[in-house]
A and B are shown apart, each in its own frame.
Chain A
Amino acid sequence: MEAVHTHADHGHHDHGHDDHDHKPTGLKRWLMSTNHKDIGTMYLWFSFCMFIVGGIMALVIRSELFQPGLQIVKPEFFNSMTTYHGLIMVFGAIMPAFVGFANWLIPMQIGAADMAFPRMNNLSFWLLPPAAFLLIGAQFAPGGGAGVGWTLYAPLSTQAGPAMDLTIFAIHILGMSSIMGSINIITTLLNMRAPGMTLMKMPMFCWTWLITAYLLVAVMPVLAGAVTMTLTDRHFGTHFFNAAGGGDPVLYQHIFWFFGHPEVYIIAIPAFGVVSQVIPAFSRKPLFGYASMVYATASIAILSFMVWAHHMYTAGMPVQAQLYFMYATVLIAVPTGVKVFNWVATMWRGSLTFETPMLFALGFLFLFTLGGFTGLVLSITPVDVQLHDTYYVVAHFHYVMVAGALFSAFAGIYFWLPKWTGRMYDEKLGRIHFWLSLVFFNLTFFVQHFLGLAGMPRRIPDYALQFAEFNAISSVGAFGFGFSQLLFLYIVIKTITSGEKAPDRPWEGADSLEWTHLPSPAPFHSFVEPPVIK
């Protein structure tokens, strides 16, 4: 039920007049798009491609680790795979995926016609393929990809080969894309809500993106600073991180993690937002404690600035500082726990059905919480002294980022595919994708907790014999998980090409504006005139 623009003269088809079913075609439509739906679609497809690239790198890692000994790749290449798997998954897959959600959903959910800055939106997206090109191309630089870890610590990064410079430029570009995208999102959410939609009536997904966008604008520039300092140390005679010149490598760690810790919440908070839409829809009950969810998310964001050195407990910090960071980190678990309880309370006495989006949302609920618990374990300094740089850490962050953020993204895609494409996905295949992903994910990463507790370090291409069995299990799980995602690709393509036609509102419990006011698929231009919210 789109509000038709009353002055539109449909007889005139010069390019300036795009009606709800008259859109540009071909290269112009995509290369020069200023449409939030098309840009959102491009972000999502881009992120899926990066997910496959990063996934292949992970499978290279797990192939080498399948058995003890060095059989498949050279250690330098292994280190490069570890590094770029991290960079590509974080900056190329998971972050753009949620920006894709933001682009598609924010205007529709607040009753706006498009984002505040449609042309800057285009630039934000099209900066990504060149950045990806740099990251992938870095593998082919002389000396191979930089095997420095995604955290790019000095002094290894200041001494690495030319691939490091390509990587730094890629990060500059990715940072600019994120910052511009975030400025767009904040301006849209603060200035362009439909009349009657106060901030506290906004869907939770929009709140989480408002908060995330502020985090991004605050910390992405700090990362840019850190890698710029690395670049100048490498080529322009500075010595920020070089003790011989009066600098300190630990300074890099502080600057990086000042960005790095809010970054993990930048990844997690939009995932929370998606889950806050999906769970109420399939419980046929409003989100429990909306206001406390908003305050909890804001608290998490603010606290995230104050805990960065829990990544640095073993860097030589005095014990008083370790204690402060330990207490602050434990504190963050409180608002996070509030959110988990509120999701559960939303389901309590709801009328539950378990379609694929809900399955992924429940998988998120349980497994993200597990990942949060292992994070709590790691936050305790004396424990972390044992577990730092072991596979326990690897297990922890894969639980929160894969079983957390990625599962939430899957939930969101299954949930909103009908609105985006006008077609329903195959429910049976969707469930198979869920169960395969769940089983193989846990096979891959649960055993890594034990590897870490037993002392297996991370970022090593070969390991002591006692770690062999669990590494073999983990590698089998990884291949299973990877191939299960091909099923997901098939499901999406099948939906787009031949899915059953979707009703305007396939989920009776979903009540945000895109479900109540727009047809499926949503028209190219929606809410050209804003709806009035009571």
Chain B
Amino acid sequence: MVGGECVFLWSHAEVLLVGAMINKRANNRMMTRLSIFAAGMFGFGFLLVPFYEKICEVTGVNNLIKPAVAVVNTQVDVSRWVSMEFDANAHGLNWEFKPVQRTMKVHPGEMVQVEYDVTNKGDRATVGQAIPSYGPNHAGPFVRKLECFCFKQQLLQAGETKRMPVQFVLDGGLPADLNTITLSYTFFEVQGASLKPTKADGVNS
């Protein structure tokens, strides 16, 4: 018993302990366990670093370091080929106009670039505008042109030659029975157009 019979020699804490029946050992045991728990949670915070690495690896989330698969363009329909034919005419213009390539096989969804050569065989500068047409006619909406010399009037000086691109994608909704498409351009002269060459006359503008 603490301090024997002389209670007045006990410390304040001992008085409280005995009178209030405080089990110091149980309290200390609780404190030890909770402190271990707190220390464990501190370690858990650091453990989260490898945890997240593993979780992101397993789920494939946001893997910025090593891409698992090569990048593949899924919009290209590699199961079918479409034969493109390229045609060129000049109407009422002394211009020589022909495609560099007469025919090409493409996949729907695949972006393609083809080129046309045009030469002004006359002795004066002229401005022309190319107008496209499609064979068969209902194939037109499926030929999505991203870039085309036909978007703008073209000014050619006397004797000048230009090589001009067309970029297009065949829409994936192209009907299955349409396997050959002809893209045909006809150059017409633009009457009364300005003959001064400006930056905007470039084929790629």
Contacts and interface: CB of A to CB of B under 8 A. Distances in A.
Contacts of A225: 42-46, 48
Given A113-B16, A186-B34, A528-B19, A219 B7 contact: no
A411 B12 CA distance: 35
A239 B45 CA distance: 15
Interface stretch (B23-31, B104-112, B126-134, B140-148): B23-31
Interface stretch (A250-258, A325-333, A393-401, A483-491): A250-258
Interface string B50-68: 0010000001011011000
A7 B7 contact: yes
A511 interface: no
Interface stretch (A187-195, A273-281, A292-300): A187-195
B37 interface: yes
Contacts of A218: 37, 41
Given A116-B27, A251-B52, A16 B11 contact: yes
Q: Counting chain A CB atoms within 10 Å of each CB, which of B35, B37, B49 scores highest?
A: B49
B42 A190 contact: no
B20 A191 contact: no
Main secondary structure of the interface of B (DSSP, over half): helix
A191 B26 contact: yes
A219 B23 CA distance: 28
Contacts of A190: 30
A255 B21 contact: no
Interface in A83-132: 112-114, 116-118
Interface in A493-534: 525, 527-530
A5 B52 CA distance: 57
A463 to B, nearest CB: 33
A8 B19 CA distance: 10
A183 B40 CA distance: 14
Interface string A312-354: 0000101001000000000000000000000000000000000
B44 A18 contact: no
A21 interface: no
Contacts of B10: 16
B22 interface: yes
A219 B41 contact: yes
Given A246-B65, A318-B61, A528-B20, A5 B42 contact: no
Interface residues of B, number: 38
Q: Counting chain A CB atoms within 10 Å of each CB, which of B10, B34, B39 scores highest?
A: B34
A210 to B, nearest CB: 12
Contacts of A12: 8
A220 interface: yes
Interface string A119-151: 000000000000000000000000000000000
A68 to B, nearest CB: 38
Nearest to A113: B20
A240 B49 contact: yes
Contacts of A217: 34, 37-38, 41
A127 to B, nearest CB: 15
A182 B42 CA distance: 15
Nearest to B24: A116
Contacts of A191: 23, 26-27, 30
B30 A116 contact: yes
A162 interface: no
B178 interface: no
Nearest to A315: B62
A254 B55 CA distance: 13
B27 A530 contact: no
A221 interface: yes
A525 B22 CA distance: 15
Contacts of A187: 27, 30-31, 34
Contact of A183 (B31, B46, B48): B31
B37 A5 contact: no
A303 interface: no
B199 to A, nearest CB: 38
A17 interface: yes
Contacts of B78: none
Contacts of A171: none
A285 B49 CA distance: 51
A217 B44 CA distance: 13
A112 B44 CA distance: 34
B204 to A, nearest CB: 37
Given A222-B41, A224-B42, A16 B12 contact: yes
Contacts of B44: 221-222, 225
B193 interface: no
A114 B11 contact: no
Interface in A197-230: 217-226, 229
B20 A222 contact: no
Contacts of B34: 182-183, 186-187, 217
A152 interface: no
B38 A255 contact: no
A179 B20 contact: no
11 contacts: A16-B12, A18-B12, A179-B38, A183-B31, A191-B27, A221-B41, A222-B45, A254-B48, A318-B61, A525-B16, A528-B16
Interface of A: 5, 7-9, 12, 14-18, 34, 112-114, 116-118, 179, 182-183, 186-187, 190-192, 217-226, 229, 240, 243, 246, 248, 250-251, 254-255, 258, 316, 318, 321, 525, 527-530
